[in-house]
């Protein structure tokens, strides 16, 4: 498709389970970002990829969170031993180069994670 | 670290009214970028504008206009003659140069009633 695609759109899981969220960026976009948005809040930065490498993972809240982008395109956000506090909408965004000077991020519609 | 404050949590107007959404930011960098995004009910954030810190010229795009004032660290957004389709949550965001953490404000929910 033309935009950023995220799957699943909704995920309900039980506390302690493992979850994977997938992001398929716009073709040709080298920069990929993961954000987390809690209800009534703005998006919170988690991690940034430039190509295959995680250029900045300073936003990951703890070591239960991990993300990969093995071929420089699709990315997977992995959450181990989920907790109720992980419930949020996880947003993925991509951009052509990754420099703020070039402008906008293109966001997907997000994956809503609910941990019971 | 950079910070963005959107003091207005919710605003409700009647169609055709003008409305201004406030954004105040904090940063220690001299080079930074300011953004506005729109988040309609579908959830997908839509880019509206980017401004760099060296360009204080105000911008108008159709019914939208932006007022960037470094003296007050503000980057306000005005919608003229609002329409029902403008109803959404609007986010102001700030990114410092060489920093991948685009910091968003908490958002302002705008409701335009017919």
pLDDT tens digits along A13-32 = 999 999 999 999 999 898 89
pLDDT of A85 reads 95
Q: What is the Cβ-side half-sphere exposure of residue A84, based on CA atoms within 13 angstroms? A: 1
Judge whether residue B100 has pLDDT over 80. no
Q: What is the pLDDT of residues B28-60, one digit of tens each?
A: 988 899 999 999 988 889 999 988 899 888 888
CB contact under 8 A, A98 and B100: yes
pLDDT of A95 reads 87
Q: What is the pLDDT of residues A48-101, one digit of tens each?
A: 998 888 888 989 999 999 999 999 899 999 999 999 999 999 999 998 876 555
**Mean pLDDT over the full length of chain B:** 92
Distances (CA, A) of B106 to A38, B24, B63, B109: 10, 12, 24, 10
pLDDT of B42 reads 82
Q: Tokens at residue B90, please?
A: 């609007």
- Nearest CA of chain B to the CA of A115: how many Å? 20
CB contact under 8 A, B42 and A109: yes
pLDDT of A53 reads 87
Average pLDDT over residues B2-16: 95
Report the C-alpha gap between B25 and A75 in whole angstroms. 31
CB contact under 8 A, B101 and A56: yes
Enumerate the residues of chain A whose CB falls inside 8 A of the CB of residue B105: 42
């Amino acid at each position: 498709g033309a935009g950023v695609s995220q799957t699943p759109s909704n995920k309900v899981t039980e506390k302690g389970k493992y979850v994977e969220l997938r992001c398929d960026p716009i073709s040709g976009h080298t920069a990929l970002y993961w954000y987390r948005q809690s209800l009534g809040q703005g998006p919170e930065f988690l991690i940034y990829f430039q190509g295959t490498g995680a250029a900045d993972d300073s936003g990951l809240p703890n070591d239960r969170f991990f993300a990969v982008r093995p071929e420089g395109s699709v990315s997977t956000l992995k959450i181990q031993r989920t907790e109720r506090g992980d419930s949020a909408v996880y947003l993925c965004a991509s951009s052509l180069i990754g420099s703020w000077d070039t402008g906008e991020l293109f966001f997907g519609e997000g994956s809503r994670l609910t941990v019971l | 670290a950079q910070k963005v404050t959107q003091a207005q949590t919710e605003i409700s107007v009647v169609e055709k009214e003008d409305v201004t959404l406030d954004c105040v930011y904090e940063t220690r960098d001299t080079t930074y970028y300011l953004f506005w995004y729109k988040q309609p009910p579908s959830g997908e954030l839509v880019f509206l504008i980017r401004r760099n810190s060296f360009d204080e010229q105000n911008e108008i795009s159709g019914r939208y206009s932006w007022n960037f004032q470094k003296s007050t660290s503000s980057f306000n957004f005005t919608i003229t003659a609002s329409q029902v389709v403008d109803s959404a949550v609007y986010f102001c965001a700030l990114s410092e140069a060489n920093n991948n953490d685009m910091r968003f404000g908490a958002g302002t929910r705008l409701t335009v009633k017919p």
